[in-house]
């Protein structure tokens, strides 16, 4: 389940996408994630969420007459995984399960997405819009610095993220000294 990690593995760093396209130019990025999951021994079913007819047709194109990964494809995926992991600070899929358990109503996935975008953009820009967006969201939701560290969010997180630790970093980034509670 979730072979494309909530869609995040369909939007990967350019260098990883080029790696896949150089091996198989007609395969979508999402196809690599789904075929990877389906190529493991004893996997009988792969559930892939789709939001358009184009995605449905794409899935059918490589799953209808499924061909498991060749050994070199597993190696390519490992290389791409390293590239992807280096580009993402917080590996949150944005499922939002954590929000329902947060007694402070902190927009955890929104803040994580802003943090990730800010970290990527800071490599090439002196200023980003994420701080302004964070301020806007914190008018509706609790701030990251308001986190009481109860851990309810972590108990339900399917990615098993250390959310409380990341909340500290998000608060430091967007709230400065205010977020050091």
d(CA 110, CA 143): 11
Q: For 35-94, what is each residue's pLDDT tens digit?
A: 999 999 999 888 888 889 999 999 899 988 999 999 999 999 999 999 988 888 998 989
pTM: 0.65
d(CA 94, CA 28): 22
- Domain boundaries in the chain? 5-87, 97-179
Q: How many CA atoms lie within 13 A of 19 on its CB side?
A: 19
- Cβ–Cβ under 8 Å, residues 180 and 145: yes
- Identify which has the larger pLDDT, 9 or 144: 144
């Amino acid at each position: 389940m979730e072979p494309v990690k909530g869609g995040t593995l369909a939007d990967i760093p350019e260098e990883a996408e080029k790696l896949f396209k150089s091996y198989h130019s007609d395969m979508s990025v999402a196809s690599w994630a789904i075929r990877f999951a389906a190529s493991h021994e004893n996997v009988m079913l792969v559930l892939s969420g789709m939001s358009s007819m184009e995605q449905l047709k794409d899935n059918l194109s490589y799953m209808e007459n499924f061909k498991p990964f060749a050994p070199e494809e597993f190696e390519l995926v490992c290389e791409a995984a390293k590239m992807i992991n280096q580009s993402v600070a917080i590996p949150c899929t944005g499922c939002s399960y954590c929000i329902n358990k947060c007694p402070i109503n902190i927009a955890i996935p929104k803040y994580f997405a802003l943090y990730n975008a800010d970290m990527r953009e800071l490599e090439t820009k002196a200023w980003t819009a994420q701080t302004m967006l964070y301020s806007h969201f914190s008018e509706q939701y609790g701030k990251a610095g308001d986190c009481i560290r109860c851990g309810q969010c972590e108990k339900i997180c399917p990615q098993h993220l250390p959310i409380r630790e990341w909340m500290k970093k998000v608060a430091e980034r967007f709230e400065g000294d205010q977020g050091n509670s």
